[in-house]
């Protein structure tokens, strides 16, 4: 099985990410996956500090139950569950048949580019 990678981007032109991915390398060769946010406020509201810590812990531990995950990081089980639901909706974690969670990616890269816009 191929190593899955994810690049998280912040770009108001989401089509640019699709075009860039389509132009890379061989069409039959895995190029990684992209999760794009169009605005910084969307990115930071969805990927809060607590959610980043959860994602990191899930990646470190492998498959882990919600209660055990909450114990590992010292947070309330209900809050951890709520954050896991958001991470699952984003595709950053998957639920397992046993009721735990796992991150399907072996590598996650965040690419945020800030550019000064000159007046026209």
Residue 119 within any structural domain of the chain: no
Q: Which residue range is the domain that position 20 belongs to? A: 5-112
DSSP 3-state of 33: strand
Q: Can you tell me the distance from the alpha carbon of 36 to that of 95, in angstroms, rounded to the nearest whole number?
A: 22
- Give the Cα-Cα-Cα angle 102, 105, 109 (nearest 5 degrees): 130
Cut 0.75: pTM above it: yes
Q: What is the CATH number of the domain that holds 29?
A: 1.10.10.10
- Contact of 38 with 12, CB cutoff 8 Å: yes
Confidence (pLDDT) at 117: 77
Q: Can you tell me the distance from the alpha carbon of 113 to that of 98, in angstroms, rounded to the nearest whole number?
A: 39
pLDDT for 43-71, tens place per residue? 999 999 999 999 999 999 999 999 999 99
Residue 72 within any structural domain of the chain: yes
Confidence (pLDDT) at 30: 75
Q: How many domains does the chain have?
A: 1
Confidence (pLDDT) at 119: 72
């Amino acid at each position: 099985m191929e190593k899955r990678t994810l690049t998280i981007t912040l770009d108001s032109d989401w089509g640019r990410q699709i075009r860039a991915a389509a132009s890379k390398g061989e069409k039959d060769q895995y190029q990684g996956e992209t999760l794009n946010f169009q605005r910084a406020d969307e990115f930071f509201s969805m990927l809060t500090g607590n959610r980043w810590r959860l994602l990191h812990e899930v990646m470190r531990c492998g498959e882990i139950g919600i209660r055990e995950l909450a114990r590992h990081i010292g947070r309330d089980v209900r809050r951890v569950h709520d954050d896991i639901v958001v991470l699952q909706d984003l595709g950053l974690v998957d639920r397992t048949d046993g009721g735990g969670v796992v991150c399907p990616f072996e590598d996650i890269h965040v690419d945020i580019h800030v550019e000064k816009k000159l007046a026209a």
